[in-house]
Structure 1
Amino acid sequence: MRRLLVAFLPVVMVLSGCTSSSYDLIETAAIPPKFEDKDPQDFGPKHPNRHPVHGIDVSKWQGDIEWEKVKASGVSFAFIKATEGKDRLDTRFHEYWRRANAVGIPHAPYHFYYFCSTADEQADWFIQNVPKVSMDMPPVLDVEWNGESKTCLTRPAPDTVRSEIKRFMDRIEAYYGKRPIIYTSVDFHRDNLVGYFGDYHFWVRSVAAHPEKTYADRRWAFWQYTSTAVVPGIPGNTDINVFVGTQKSWKKWLASANKS
């Protein structure tokens, strides 16, 4: 694990050199939108298209994906749903990661956390179903309140939430040799994560405003800014995300993330 921390250090140092208010203001040239959005939002001058590196996140609900077209459209990375809770495997996970890998799209699996199962049960399930070769980016822990669940509406106290997800992430990091990325939503972050996990990369959802307005003092690496994008090769609406930095810093980040 020491080698992993050393590998991440250069990237962490570069990103931490920015203040919390300027973390995502790495110099980038203004560029036109990469993808059509069926419900575009006005983000003001700090719109996501300032960032040149765009990616998708997908699950079985995206159906039959033509990965060659996705690659050709300018998608730079893909987060792919793998597991949920202690007993659910996304039925398209193994197909998707292999197809993304075949066309050269950097990809990472994500786990949707259920607070009705223990951290160890969920870590065991993830490890059982997600091979090490299925990721060339760090794995992702998706933590958010799931108000639509028919089986788990539990909302533990913040201390319990943090201890559970830390246990899960420690297990995953020990097994895969990569420190997980944390994906979260505005309300879950506000309720549980403000001021914590500063040594983890964050992927934040903010579809109506820039993250600096919705995530107080949180440095982020990825920003999910819409769920209504149109990406060639994917039927229906698609989530789109941007990486915080330039093409050059993306290559550096990806290289560091792959060292273990």
Structure 2
Amino acid sequence: MRSRVIYADTYRKRHQRRLFLLAVLIIALGALFVWWHQRNPRPDPQTYPVLGVRLDQTDGVQDFDSLRSSKVSFVYLKATEGSSYFDDNFNTNFNQAAGSRLSIGIYHVFSFETTPQAQAAQFTRQVGQNIGDLPIGIYLSYYTEKKPSTQWLTTQLQTFVTLVQQHYHRQVLLMGSPSILKAVQKVDSQAPRWVVSDKKPTTSSGFWQYTSGARLPNGPHADYRAAVFMGDRAAFLKLSQQIVN
């Protein structure tokens, strides 16, 4: 009888310890979850004073005055993708951003499945003259397991760039991971690059998208694809409405 009491007491203590450890684990995971969603990995604002965000329809319609209050200086809005897709929120966000005194860029997501001619026609048809004041962005990603050859990608992309520049006479901005930007390094080599990486790029110019989802300092309660310009404000202002022949 005595041994049963000792056993029951030992079992109770073990059970209590397990519950305690489980509670600690739940609290720790909760704290980690809150930290992850409230973290602010923004690079040093003294080194990179010009902050911006890249938006598409998954971000919804934005309050651009609120973004500006969060010290955001520019926005890049997704316009088109491939030869048939048009972002549902593009026109609304563009019109509202235009009244916010933010610098505006727009971008096209390049497709491997359709011709550059068809993509350029879709882009110019849907965008019209709403191209903002920053270089026209062209976003690139290896979204299929089979990567296109560097030669094919370079040729197709250069054709698209040429068609867009012939229509708008505006500088372009190539956007993507370090690996895909390296593959197209010969395409309009003088054009700025937008590097998507959680590590500081080796380049000292262009844009650095340092996160694909994080809070802005003192910003809205939402995660953003945030980026900084790799230069000072004077250099950033020189990008505005750069003309190419």
TM interval, shorter chain, is 0.7 to 0.9
* Alpha-carbon shift at residue 38 of structure 1 (Å): 4.0
* Alpha-carbon shift at residue 102 of structure 1 (Å): 0.9
Distance 1:187 1:112 in 2: 17
**Counterpart AA for 2:58:** W
SS in 1 for 2:212: strand
Q: Which residue of 2 aligns with 1:25?
A: none
Q: Which residue of 2 aligns with 1:61?
A: 58
Q: Does 1:130 align with 2:120?
A: no
TM-score (normalised: structure 1)? 0.72
Distance 2:160 2:179 in 1: 21
* Alpha-carbon shift at residue 109 of structure 1 (Å): 1.1
Distance 1:105 1:63 in 2: 18
| Gap runs ≥5 in structure 2 | 1-35
Aligned residues: 208
Q: Is the 8 A contact 2:61 2:92 kept in 1?
A: no
Distance 2:186 2:197 in 1: 18
Correspondent of 1:248 among 226, 231, 234: 234
* 1:210/1:57 CA distance change after superposition, 3 Å: same
SS in 1 for 2:108: strand
Where in structure 2 are the equivalents of 1:141-160 lying within 5 Å? Answer: 141-147=138-144, 155-160=147-152
Q: Is the 8 A contact 1:39 1:228 kept in 2?
A: no
Distance 2:173 2:148 in 1: 21
| Gap runs ≥5 in structure 1 | 1-35, 148-152, 213-217
Distance 1:235 1:257 in 2: 34
* Alpha-carbon shift at residue 60 of structure 1 (Å): 0.6
How large is the Cα RMSD of the aligned pairs? 2.5
Q: Which residue of 2 aligns with 1:226?
A: 211
Cα displacement string for residues 45-68 of structure 1 (whole angstroms, at most 9, x for unaligned residues):
xx4532101111101111131111
Distance 1:185 1:48 in 2: 21
Q: Which residue of 1 aligns with 2:174?
A: 182
Distance 1:39 1:197 in 2: 36
* Alpha-carbon shift at residue 194 of structure 1 (Å): 4.4
Distance 1:112 1:83 in 2: 6
Correspondent of 1:120 among 117, 120, 124: 117
* Alpha-carbon shift at residue 184 of structure 1 (Å): 1.4
* 1:48/1:166 CA distance change after superposition, 3 Å: farther
Correspondent of 2:72 among 71, 75, 87: 75
* 1:69/1:224 CA distance change after superposition, 3 Å: same
Cα displacement string for residues 210-256 of structure 1 (whole angstroms, at most 9, x for unaligned residues):
101xxxxx5531110112322466553101111121122222332x5
**Counterpart AA for 1:52:** P
Specify the structure having the higher radius of gyration (Cα): 2
TM-score (normalised: structure 2)? 0.76
* Alpha-carbon shift at residue 189 of structure 1 (Å): 2.6
Distance 1:234 1:131 in 2: 31
Correspondent of 1:101 among 98, 101, 104: 98
